[in-house]
Structure 1
Amino acid sequence: MTTPTYTLIGAAGTRAGRALWMLEELGVPYEHLSAKPHEASVTQHYPRGKVPVLLVDGEPITDSTAIIQYLADAHGQFTAPAGTIARARQDMLSHCVLDEFDSVLWTAARHSFMLPAEQRVAGVKESLRWEFNRNQTSLAQRLGDTPFATGDAFTVTDILLAHCLVWARAAKFEINEPYLVSYFERMTQRPAFKRAMAKG
């Protein structure tokens, strides 16, 4: 099978870092355009101006989760096969991470600097920190002592979860569950993660 031509648009310090990480894990050739949200190189493919955008032979795919799942499926790596119980568990945990980690951190960012000042809610971050801590406890109990989010193998879910933990550290949301602390350290030592983040 001929590998498509990939161009990933978006700075490594955004959710584009997830797609960069997946591309590095796969070891496939790609071009990276380190664009910020709403730049012309983004809006010409996605009028809302959000990153990342992955061009596959010139065809745009948007949303970081859709991109990394597409890449995993296309290359048959880092994902359980569609239509299996293992894939259902993977998708279940991916959606849990998006609902309980990504959304909390995104709301904090919006009320810190993204929304117009008059639309920000003072003090909301303390409520979000409480929610983030509660969600950590729940997820740690759910995962037990597995080396990766879905068991014994690295999957797209690990990219989502580890990236959210990186984001949490940057936003000063404490990672206080011992399992997630050690998990964070393991994931961020992966060579592909380091190569992806170095593009920032």
Structure 2
Amino acid sequence: MYTVIGTVGSRTLRVLWMLEELGLEYEHVQAAPRSEDVVAINPAGKVPVLIVEGTPITDSTAILTYLADAHGRFTHRAGTLERARQDSLTQFLLDEFDSNLWTAARHSFILPEELRLSGIKESLRWEFERSQRTLIRRMGGGDFVMGGEMTVPDILLGHCLEWAVMAKFPIISESLTAYHQRMRARPAFKRAVARREASGSQDAGS
């Protein structure tokens, strides 16, 4: 059984969602970023952390990729062109969506108040809108990022769109809005989010 460490209001939600999609048993330990319990496992103090046979795996994307590869679902086989495209989309979402929203969060409530730059959020919103237009051109024609099959990038994009709504970053495309609603309607996503609502936490990065 896996152990997931981290608050549900962080990127830990991605890992919980993946585990629910896979139908795997796991233990969830609520621990805040940079708390003593987290730093003891991950010196960077970041969550999530996945414990596998006593070994910690850090970084939400690394964890998602490990789980998908280990269980042969939500991923394409390494060494294929489909996997190359999947990995490319994963990196695009991290560079253009995740990092943008994370920077906005840092300048909203994470950094010390004297270091926050409120004006930066306008440029971040502009970049976020531009990135959406690029993503729409790259997405497949089905219900998911790559077309007809759900893969790791869908977990990342679904969670980033949740962040965007909370940060009041507009989702400018009807197709992305519809995609977001499909992801939110998935039973596995609802089960993962229920843990967040039960804990009373809010999304705050890692």
TM-score (normalizing by structure 1): 0.95
Q: Residues 18 and 159 of structure 1 are in contact (CA less than 8 Å); yes or no, is this contact kept in structure 2?
A: yes
Shift of residue 145, structure 1, vs aligned partner: 3.1
Runs of 4 or more above 6 Å deviation? none
Shift of 1:101: 0.3
For the structure 1 residues 140 and 130, does the alpha-carbon distance in structure 2 shift closer, same or farther, using more than 3 Å as the test? same
1:100 aligns with 2:113: no
RMSD: 1.0
Task: Choose 25-34 or 36-45, whichever is displaced more.
Answer: 36-45
For the 8 Å contact 2:141–2:148, the answer to whether it is kept is no
Among candidates 16, 35, 44, match of residue 39 of structure 1: 35
Alignment partner, residue 183 of structure 1: 179
Residues matched between the structures, number: 196
1:48 aligns with 44
Q: Cα deviations across residues 2-55 of structure 1 (Å, max 9, x unaligned)?
A: xxx310001111100000000001111110012111122211100111100000
Task: Give the superposition deviation at 1:144.
Answer: 5.2
Residue identity over aligned pairs, in percent, reads 60
- Structure 1: how far apart are the matches of 2:91 and 2:97? 10
The question of whether the paired residues in 2 share the 8 Å contact of 1:145 and 1:179 is answered with no
The SS at the match of 1:199 is: helix
Q: Does 1:145 align with 2:141?
A: yes
Asked if 1 retains the 8 angstrom alpha-carbon contact of 2:34 and 2:44, the reply is yes
**Offset, 1:173:** 0.7
Give the gaps of 5 or more residues in structure 1. Answer: none
2:82 aligned with 1:89, yes or no? no
Shift, 1:147, TM fit: 1.3
**Contact 2:89–2:153 under 8 Å retained in 1:** yes
Highest RCO, 1 vs 2 (Cα 8 Å, sep ≥ 6): 2
> TM-score, normalised to structure 2's length?
0.92
Between the aligned partners of 2:95 and 2:33, the Cα distance in structure 1 is 22
- Aligned equivalent of 2:57: 61
